[in-house]
Amino acid sequence: PPRRFSVAGGKTEFVASHDPISSPYETTNFVDNEFVSSRAESWIDLHDPATNSLVTRVPESTEAELDAAVRSAEKAFPIWRSMSIMARQQILFKFVSLIRRDWDRLAASITLEQGKTFQDAKGDVLRGLQVAETSCGITSQIPGEVLEVAKDMETRSYREPLGVIGAICPFNFPAMIPLWCIPIAAVTGNCIVMKPSERDPGAAMILAELAREAGFPAGVLNIIHGGPRAVDFIIDEPAIRAISFVGGNRVGEYIYSRGSANGKRVQANLGAKNHAALLPDCNKNQALNAIVGAAFGAAGQRCMALSTLVPVGEAKDWLPELASRAEQLNTTGGFEEGADLGPVISAESKKRIEELIDSAEKEGATILLDGRNFKNMKYPNGNWIGPTIITNVTTDMTCYKQEIFGPVLVCLETPTLDDAISLINQNHYGNGAAIFTKSGPAASHFQKQIEAGQIGINVPIPVPLPMFSFTGNKKSIAGGGANTFYGKPGLQFYTQQKTVTSLWRHEDAVDSKANVNMPV
């Protein structure tokens, strides 16, 4: 039977009943502030990754349902945008307090559908909540500029909402990534049509319920489900002015190019292969713990997971110790007390990751810690892979060239820091890179030379807080990184500028002849 959860007195426990919003037997769409059953002819089964029992089925929404969501957003837009920004801000304050109230419920839905541990799922919610909280300060971020440009003449700039926004989300952060979009897009006056990942839409459904309770008018947030067809609908629908996408390169590059060709504004955060240079002069304990946490947390299914280690010089001698720390991690169901990492998202994903480990072995690497064939007796049907460390990896190996997105750390040793920097810079991804060292000059050299968008110095996962922006570069973001998520660029993405130049002169002109030249 499916595992169910309830949240009572702040404690999450399993009970026979289930959350009707996040995990009904059939996931509904959310259109015009109503949870609407789909008339879809095809459905996607969603399995609990720890047990592979059916949790819910998710519709491949029909054309009419997708269309209804856009029409609802379109209808809501003129009313929502003309509401005072303070009124929208009040609704956002309420939304923030409701997310905090239902924090455990959101996290439980994530653990059930996505598999990550309950504590980690709470972090997923919190990082999104922080974006929502920061968005409440929009009233001091959105004001335009004004300048008296000539006598009696001034130019002012305004930031206006775009209209209807389409958002397409990945499976790995079911709360955080919808919350990279909803609060900023909504408080700036836009309406949203969101397609969560078909693999774990439960958290987005709870967010929809909370948005309605907070006072979002009907049509401001709509949620529809589906796969590639729903995505194509969003890309091609003329009423959708901008697309916010997070996911892998194959899909993201397609969405970016086709969406841009359709004249839409597109932000697209893509895949990653994040490296850490480990210098022998670092605080060893802190560094090894940080690397193990960032490589294997969330079973490596984070865009900022630290998936590639570059031990410099003698730091290679620590690899056996790193393996023994990784081996101690508790790989089990995400609701279990003391769970460190859960299962991977699906049986297909497990197979793909295991094949990548096999390929490393065939291509001559050493499997220092082998998580293939890992079994969890309590959850015999789960998608388990234990922490895996591959050493003696070279840059031409498949396990290095591909994003593994599982609990696998690949290690490439280099003799010097400059060799490490040049190796990291040759990788075509550029999300994040970290260095572990006690040397200020080494860290400063690394920071300046490295071509990744987010640098950690003795910090493994440098995901910037929402007052900054998520700044991947190279192949980790489409469009050369012009449209990054949240922070000031997030506000810019969801608004367009209007500049108004006005002349207010007390007296009428004396000259009766029109001047046809550009003023000089």
Distance CA 29, CA 148 (A): 50
Q: Is residue 429 a contact residue for ligand NAD (CB under 6 A)?
A: no
Contacts 24+ apart (CB under 8 A), 63-67: 63/233, 64/39, 65/29, 65/31, 65/36, 65/38, 65/39, 65/40, 65/224, 66/224, 66/226, 66/230, 66/233, 66/234, 66/237
Distance CA 198, CA 44 (A): 7
How many of the chain's residues bind ligand NAD (CB under 6 A)? 27
Q: What tokens appear for 298 in the block?
A: 């969330």
Q: CA-based angle 421:312:292, to the nearest 5?
A: 100
Tell which one of 44, 83, 239, 251 touches ligand NAD (CB under 6 A). Answer: 251
Q: Is residue 233 a contact residue for ligand NAD (CB under 6 A)?
A: no
Distance CA 187, CA 164 (A): 13
Question: What is the per-residue DSSP string for 167-187?
Answer: EE--SS-TTTTHHHHHHHHHH
What dihedral do alpha carbons 23, 192, 482, 421 form, nearest 10°? -10
Residue 166, Ramachandran bin (φ over 0: left; ψ between -120 and 50: alpha; else beta): beta
Closest approach, Cβ 88 to ligand NAD, in A, equals 26
Q: State which residue, 316 or 475, has the beta carbon closest to ligand NAD.
A: 475
Closest approach, Cβ 186 to ligand NAD, in A, equals 20
Number of C-beta neighbours around residue 413 at 10 A: 19
Tell which one of 59, 123, 170, 432 touches ligand NAD (CB under 6 A). Answer: 170
Tell which one of 476, 483, 484, 495 touches ligand NAD (CB under 6 A). Answer: 476
Tell which one of 24, 217, 227, 464 touches ligand NAD (CB under 6 A). Answer: 227
Closest approach, Cβ 378 to ligand NAD, in A, equals 27
Distance CA 422, CA 431 (A): 16
Distance CA 165, CA 146 (A): 28
Q: Is 17 helix (H, G, I), strand (E, B) or coil?
A: coil
Q: Which stretch binds ligand NAD (CB under 6 A): 63-71, 81-89, 246-254, 393-401?
A: 246-254
Is the alpha carbon torsion for 344, 328, 312, 450 positive or negative? positive
Selecting among 181, 282, 303, 399, the annotated active-site residue is 303
Closest approach, Cβ 421 to ligand NAD, in A, equals 22
**Do the beta carbons of residue 239 and residue 124 sit within 8 Å?**
no
Q: State which residue, 256 or 470, has the beta carbon closest to ligand NAD.
A: 470
Distance CA 292, CA 322 (A): 7
Identify residues 300-339 at the interface with ligand NAD (CB under 6 A). 303
Q: Which stretch binds ligand NAD (CB under 6 A): 93-101, 118-126, 267-275, 370-378?
A: 267-275
Q: What tokens appear for 13 in the block?
A: 């426990």
Tell which one of 163, 247, 407, 432 touches ligand NAD (CB under 6 A). Answer: 247
Closest approach, Cβ 356 to ligand NAD, in A, equals 14
> Taking Cα atoms as reference points, which of 30, 61, 12, 14 lies closest to residue 234?
61
- Determine whether 303 is an active site residue: yes
Closest approach, Cβ 196 to ligand NAD, in A, equals 7
Closest approach, Cβ 272 to ligand NAD, in A, equals 5
Q: What tokens appear for 304 in the block?
A: 């900022």
Tell which one of 50, 98, 246, 312 touches ligand NAD (CB under 6 A). Answer: 246
Q: Is residue 49 a contact residue for ligand NAD (CB under 6 A)?
A: no
Q: Is residue 66 a contact residue for ligand NAD (CB under 6 A)?
A: no
Q: Judging by DSSP bridges, how do beta strands 432-436 and 454-457 pair with one another?
A: parallel
Tell which one of 28, 62, 172, 471 touches ligand NAD (CB under 6 A). Answer: 172
Q: Is residue 168 a contact residue for ligand NAD (CB under 6 A)?
A: yes
Q: Is residue 33 a contact residue for ligand NAD (CB under 6 A)?
A: no
- x-or-dash string of contact with ligand NAD, 67-106, rule CB under 6 A: ----------------------------------------
* Residue whose token pair is 């490596």: 300
Q: Is residue 244 a contact residue for ligand NAD (CB under 6 A)?
A: no
Q: State which residue, 259 or 382, has the beta carbon closest to ligand NAD.
A: 259
Q: State which residue, 31 or 478, has the beta carbon closest to ligand NAD.
A: 478
**Do the beta carbons of residue 48 and residue 112 sit within 8 Å?**
yes
Q: State which residue, 228 or 320, has the beta carbon closest to ligand NAD.
A: 228
The footprint of ligand NAD (CB under 6 A) covers: 168-173, 195, 197-198, 227-228, 231, 246-248, 251, 269-272, 303, 403, 405, 431, 470, 472, 476
Where in the sequence numbering do the catalytic residues fall? 303
